[in-house]
Structure 1
């Protein structure tokens, strides 16, 4: 197995400009059903992508593998990691835990996550996501899961101030189909989904896509199955020395998005903020010290 901290999807994205036309065709085929697409025989992958077996062998080497068996070994490890439970994650970290204090180990892991995530995120994709979030010609719907609903709510609360027509859909409730009733073609749906990927979130994404929604997905390095339905997919590394994954990098993305969208919409956002502050003053919701 490779020692690279990057997933195979990361490596493919970073090599796209260096690939031949046939290799790019193969790369897209792999990413369309990743990581399961590469788990069969080399000949099957070549046939599915409409390329030759030597094309597969060449691209695998360009990605840094000695051969197809090593490539498959990494794919299997990624597939295994996708479904890892909190107990298994804890045991993996505990087995080889260094003597450094957990504050240092955890912080080092988070900094690594941020560094690797920023290296892999396409800034053009990030800018396009912010433009969609800022576009008030279309309504915005924000969705999270069992854990990531907190991330979704954080983005929702800020977007609600920045722009009009924002809805927080709770996929963990059995009422989420009600929220899709008024979904219009062209509406933007921002979805948060990290391992272990939630069935309800995938169902919601499929129905939203059928109704013409444009999906922005924020996910982990292995990518939620929702990525096949999304227009823009932003992946973050989430692994830390804990039974739980870390949302720090995702929060960094969210707060940067909030800043970017606020700047794009400032002419409309400022009067909304002023109106909201006036409401706060009238309700005496917050203490004033002047």
Structure 2
């Protein structure tokens, strides 16, 4: 587990001062924990013994051990595809890649599903199924394919769904139309994109709800999100795996479809009629 995951899992076991400290660590995670123990205590307005107690509750022998783990996480977050490949090649077991990759994906699914809070899931589905709200969907350089997939299905399910192009020079035009209560679905995994973060910040200023699909390290956008799905994505490859993110996205799509079925069914029937009239698909 990442330190952020440990902090969230143990939130109910922390004292008031420790929760205050935890909030500060998570605000600009993981960089917020890389200064001195004194500077972190001052930023959270707690004592240095409180910092020491918290890191021990998280399972670390002391503050240096805590920071070593943070640095390792930061190194993972900013890793390029070349760096990731070098790591897994050096550590790769003798088993065939078919087995190794499949095992990594299954492990990712297990760890990710264990972290999904049903309340957060229900909140995301409630936001997305509320037809009074407009929904905007956007991804990044790689995750735009996930955003396109999510948009295509959601557009069939309900109206008022807009796909924002991933190129950063286009989204300010969509930002003009954001209104309080609208929802922006964002896909953002390491290496997190600055333009997407700016979009999230400015959307938040306009009272927009953000549903974020990210990775186990957590995009900086998480601090602006109403709901954040943190999916495990590491795989024995130069590229991260999007399978877990796709899985959660498809479950959300399925639930929103069921919640909106009374209005979704006639939309789908009308769409099928259009397909038949245009002979879009082959008939056997």
Structure 1 position 171, deviation (Å): 2.5
Alpha-carbon displacement from aligned partner over 1:66-113 (angstroms, at most 9, x marks no partner): 111110000011111111010110000001211100010000101111
Is the 1:171–1:204 Cα contact (8 Å) retained in structure 2?
Answer: no
Structure-1 residue corresponding to 2:21: 26
Give the aligned partner of residue 62 of structure 1: 57
Q: Deviations over 1:32-74 (max 9, x none)?
A: 1110111011111111112221211111111111111110000
TM-score, structure 1 as length reference: 0.96
- Residues 19, 173 of structure 1: alpha-carbon distance in 2 compared, 3 angstrom cutoff: closer
CA RMSD of aligned residues (A): 1.0
Query: What is the number of equivalent residue pairs in this alignment?
Result: 284
CA–CA separation in structure 1 for the residues paired with 2:211 and 2:228: 6
Between stretches 147-156 and 203-212, larger displacement belongs to 203-212
**Offset, 1:206:** 1.7
Structure 1 residue 133 corresponds to structure 2 residue 140: no
Q: Gapped runs of 5+ residues in structure 2? A: none
Deviations along 1:185-237, one digit per CA (max 9) or x if unpaired, are 11100100001111111111122122221111111111111112111111011
Structure 1 residue 26 displacement after superposition: 1.2
Greater shift in the superposed pair: 77-86 or 177-186:
177-186
Match of 1:232 among 224, 227, 230: 227
Distance 1:216 1:22 in 2: 29
Range 241-250 or range 18-27, more displaced: 18-27
Where has structure 1 moved over 6 Å in runs of 4 or more? none
1:173, distance to aligned residue in structure 2 (A): 5.0
Match of 2:280 in 1: 285
Partner of 1:145: 140
Select 2:116's aligned residue among 112, 118, 121. 121
Give yes or no for contact 2:112–2:232 (8 Å, CA) kept in 1. Answer: yes
Unaligned runs of 5+ in 1: 1-5
The separation in 1 between residues aligned to 2:166 and 2:174, in whole angstroms, is: 10
**What CA distance in whole angstroms lies between the structure 1 residues aligned with 2:166 and 2:196?**
6
Q: Is the 8 A contact 1:209 1:229 kept in 2?
A: yes
Query: Any residues of structure 2 matched to 1:177-192 within 5 Å, and which?
Result: 177-192=172-187
2: CA distance between counterparts of 1:24 and 1:83?
A: 27
Could you list the per-position Cα deviations for residues 123-144 of structure 1 after superposition, in whole angstroms to 9, with x for gaps in the alignment? 2111111111111111000010
Instruction: From 249, 253, 267, give the equivalent of 2:262.
Output: 267
Q: Which of 147, 167, 170 in structure 2 is aligned with 1:172? A: 167
CA distance, structure 2, for counterparts of residue 21 and residue 268 of structure 1? 46
Kept in 1, the 8 Å contact 2:168–2:195? The answer is no
